[in-house]
Structure 1
Amino acid sequence: MAVQNSQLLQTVSTITEALSGYECRSLSYLCGSLDTDSTVTGVKEMLKSKVTSSEMDKLLLLELLFELRRFDLLRNVFGTSRDEVERTLRHRKALSRFKVLMTNVSEDMASEDLNSMKFLLSSTLPRERIENAKNFLDVIVELEKLDKISSERVDLIEECLRNIGRVDLAKKVHLYQRSGENLQQQPPQHITQQPRPRVPVSIAAPIPCYSWRPPRQEQSNHHTVGKPQFTERKPAHVNREPHLQSALDQYNLSAACRGVCVIIDCVGNDGEMLEHAFKDLGFVVTLHMWLSVDNILTELRRVFKKIETHNADSFICCIISRGTSTNLLGTDSHCTGLCLDRVRRLFTAEECRMLVGKPKLFFIQSYSVPEVQAHPRPAYRDEDLETDGFSGPPECELIPTDADVFWSHCWTDERQLEQNTHHSVYLKALTDSLHKGQRRKTHLVDVHLEVNGTIYDHNKRNPREKYHIDLKHTLRKNLYFK
């Protein structure tokens, strides 16, 4: 046992030294500590104390790293994968669900949201504690110390989140409260628990959902490339031929403003090409170059006024950025980034009433950076997806969950940006297909089928410069730009 504890102590040192300051803060909170000492040294001593007192074992360390999304440490320190740990945690968990939820909410809390939260709580918390709170977890800790919230009482947090406009996060807290898990103490370590529930998605009518992903490649010495699969799930008897559809089956893009389009180019390559393409299609286009994560969020929120001013029939969002599997980094380096799902949520029916029933289209080109450069974590949600060892987007039912959303996300390796003449094959194929679709009135999904074909041909010719596409949509009607 002494030898095992000695090895675990060494593992603790290796792990804590690889964590960022915020990750140390999160780890400390997940372990149940309300101590303000969240330095690497402080967290290391806290974990070592738990090891020597037999309060911690390897499984708890694996769960902590899993919740921090440090899958690189799972692999490098423990020699295990995310999927293996996830399978284990389906039956054996030790961390408090309340602590996990609060940590996830903190990850998705922007600085302006935090300031709004602190303002609302200014009469609840002492001024000095409010001013010293650097993140949402600091606020939660102070509320716990005053016994204002606990695993059984989260009403205050839900109310504050709704009041600052973060309805998405308030729903997560409400779901936790309704689950009944807050009515009992957390079970002891290693007692079997049921898998965490998924947020139910309720849509009044059957919504067609199209999903395309690159197929997994069989290992071979010839680097063979499989034919892309595009699967379609839709109600029976749906025909997309324009001449067979009534006006009621098509989105109306006949107003003075067909739609508002915002383009954010954080790498400086293809923003102008997209700008010209969507202006030709009759959209009011705004192009932003070289934005940080905070500025991306600010500009996206400013779009609300433009949508309202122009009474737009649709909305298009194009983002070109470095990123990880779930987050966009903008021009920042070594940051948690902006969650892709959060981008979508900004324009849901709850957040942007002007777009209810209108199509919302997202075209994302991300250039994947190594996970060691940024360690983002998605909100309280499904887990990420790995495709052929490539850090791609999550297999996430949260994008899209609402009606009238078209989500197209393409990702490729960041190293392609080192080429002076680099232009995104995906974005070039998209603009070309949109122009063709305008001339012959082609359905948007069929436009994307042409993009898929172009990507497939490119990947076959350039196996070292592959592009990967994730396409999902919940369009209820046909969409043509002509």
Structure 2
Amino acid sequence: MDFNRMLVSIDNELSQEDLDSLKFLCSDLLPPKKLLSIKSSLELFTELQKISLLEEDKYDLLAELLYIIGQHSLLKVLATTKWRVQEALREKRTVSLYRQMLFQLYENITSDDLRTILFLLGIPKKYEEGKKFLEVLSYLEKNDQLSENKLDVLENAVGYVSPDLHKKINEYKKTIEIQKPTAQSFEDENDKTQFSIQDQDQVEGSYIETIQEPIQHISETVSEKDLMAENTGTLAELSLNEDPKLEIYSMNRKHRGYCLIINNEQFMKSEPRTGTEKDAEFLHSVFTWLGLHVEIRTNLLAKEIRNCLTEFKEKDHSERDCFVSCILTHGKSKAIYGTDDIDIPISEITSYFSTTNCSTLAGKPKLFFIQACQGNSSQGAHAIEPDAVSDAEKKRPKITIPNDADILVGMSTVDGYYAYRHNRTGTWYIQSLCENLTKLVPKGEDILSILTKVNKDVSEKEYSNLKQMPQPAYTLLRKLVFPIPPAPFKPASKETNF
């Protein structure tokens, strides 16, 4: 591809937020006035070309920038991958660790945290209103309150609202201490560079993505034991040990696939699940955006759920890439309930779509996202309600992830514990799932990485000592990457916070 056409192709995929991020990361490379005048990615590319940082046979910096802002799917336009970029950054980087650290703070800060930080910093109203954190950081640098070796002002403010973000600053400071030049390092410039690179490797893995959510989204309690079912993979480990040679599921058939949403709100004996309609609405909107044919079935008896699953397993999936089912209902350990309070084992639900029972989905990913309690522990506070029933303890059916391959089950909570639902805004798990799909699919992230992020986001939410821990388990044999939709996600409701 012609070099200029390649740059145009990349520009077409970048949003205004991406451009703001790129400009901030280039703050040490281009004059502030020049950056302020840049209105498009192409203009930024032009300025980088003028100073020989972007040329037809030299675009390491562009690859580094796309990697940092998470636009990994665009690296293929540069004939490279995120793994190659990772390896290259071990030897040479252009964006400083200082600039990257500030950018990571920006990526992980919440709107509530930002408002508090603005107040603590005493930033004038004319700069404060409507400002993004990147602009606040630039303001502090412009007023000589922030630099590589001057972090006290920012550190005090960030430390007040988020210990995890404060930890990132401390990690950077330790890196700077390690990298202070010695008399010996001045004798040999190459030796000094090598020492610096080694120290960067020591801390690079420690910049773990952290989100602090506002308390307005109420949290729930679960134990962190038995996070994964026996003989299933651990998402966190897989995410940290990605194999660049791992095959990817084919997503180029005529249709993307069916998405079945079963949304139970009214029950014969149990309390209604108010707020579940918000989850169903967001799931419908997000999976439609991802190209699936979405159908919602509401308030089904156990028998009707089984009939519905039979209906979808008997469909011809030959020209479809995958199958997705989202079940929103009450539940107990390793089972979900119909509206008649009759339970169905989760293992039975997944078995409908095994290779034996649904041959046209053989070798294709089958995803199940289940929002339901998995136990009867009594927890509750404020406007949250448990997605469970309080009947006497019943015999618990045994569940394991099916031996058949290509199945993923995303549970809203670990076995034995409540999953909570806000009676107005929906559930933490489903809302986080939708939000991270809309944010990370356009960046080319695979489903396991996305669910790892969901795990982290939900686990960090807290209200009155209540917490919740999702539990994903899978027998996927390849990476599952949804193709990037042709247009940005547009919420179905004005109240959506994505």
TM range (shorter): 0.3 to 0.5
More contact order relative to length (CA 8 Å, sep ≥ 6)? 2
Query: What is the TM-score with the length of structure 1 in the denominator?
Result: 0.48
TM-score (norm 2): 0.47
